Amino acid sequence: MSFFIQAIGFGLVTAAVLALAGVGLTLQFGVTNYANFAYGDMMTLGVYLTWVFFAIAHLTFVLALLLALVCMAAICVATAEVIMRPFVLRGSPPLILLIVTFGVSLILNSIILAIWGAGSEAFQLPGTQPLDLGPFLLTPLQLLIIGTSVAAMFVVHLLLTRTSMGKRMRAVSDNRELARVSGISPTPVIRATWALTGVLATLGGVALAVDASQFSPGLGEGFLFAIFAVVILGGVGKPYGAMLGALVVGVVTEVIGLWIPQYKLDVAFVVLIVVLLFRPEGLIRSAGKA
């Protein structure tokens, strides 16, 4: 029983990582209406930028992360404007846009390999000794990941419900043409969404790298199926559904990992298939998109 309880604790950490990454991906999909298969490599690039500012420029970890967030927000907006926007204006079908994001993924992965190589790196951070927290055994870094995720989800909630940009995001996500007729220009909303995507992708990637103790160029790409499982389980374009989906997938993968640890992430792929077969609209059927 103790191993089962411990797995639930680790599942909460995994769920925190998945929530950060999943909400970013589902918001972007909800506003732009196309899937982004470069998202995993965007996560990885955010991790490497944070590592450069932290380990090479010798900034504090918080300042390094903040600079990486700004850089990735700018990179994601530039990607949307320079690469994706011409195809969108041309009226390209979703399949073409999907293929373009695959191309962006290859470009980002090649850039990462060319600059940093294929080896593994790590954040040398304190707080790796586990703490006895009742039934759970978690490190201070894992608790920080959970706290950061909860805080980020609260900020996203405030953004969507209390700010004019958040309300415009929801309007564009629900019906772009109606939003346009109502006087809402989709272009600045899409740019803001891509910037937020870059921020959440970086937070999710850094949280994943810290939890895994090391990272390599395949970090985000290997985690991408789990993120898509979260997005589809919660309902595509539904950030609150992604939060719930992250909790389910995170706990399930860690609990199943007690018996088949080498196939832990493959469980997320099984969840993805089952949801697509029996409930493609996601867990939160009645909830609107972003």
User: Is 2-278 CATH 1.10.3470?
Assistant: yes
- DSSP helix, strand, coil percent of the chain (3-state; round to 5): 75, 5, 20
Distance CA 79, CA 141 (A): 32
pLDDT for res 285: 60
Question: Phi, psi (5° rounding) for residue 183?
Answer: 100, 10
pLDDT for res 287: 45
Residues of the chain under the 50 pLDDT cut = 1, 286-288
Q: What sign does the CA torsion over 251, 37, 170, 82 have?
A: positive
Distance CA 66, CA 72 (A): 10
Distance CA 158, CA 246 (A): 19
Give how far the C-alpha of residue 252 lies from the chain's centroid of Cα atoms, to the nearest Å: 18
Q: pTM to 2 decimals?
A: 0.93
Distance CA 210, CA 89 (A): 39
Helix 219-234 to helix 264-278 angle (10° resolution) is: 30
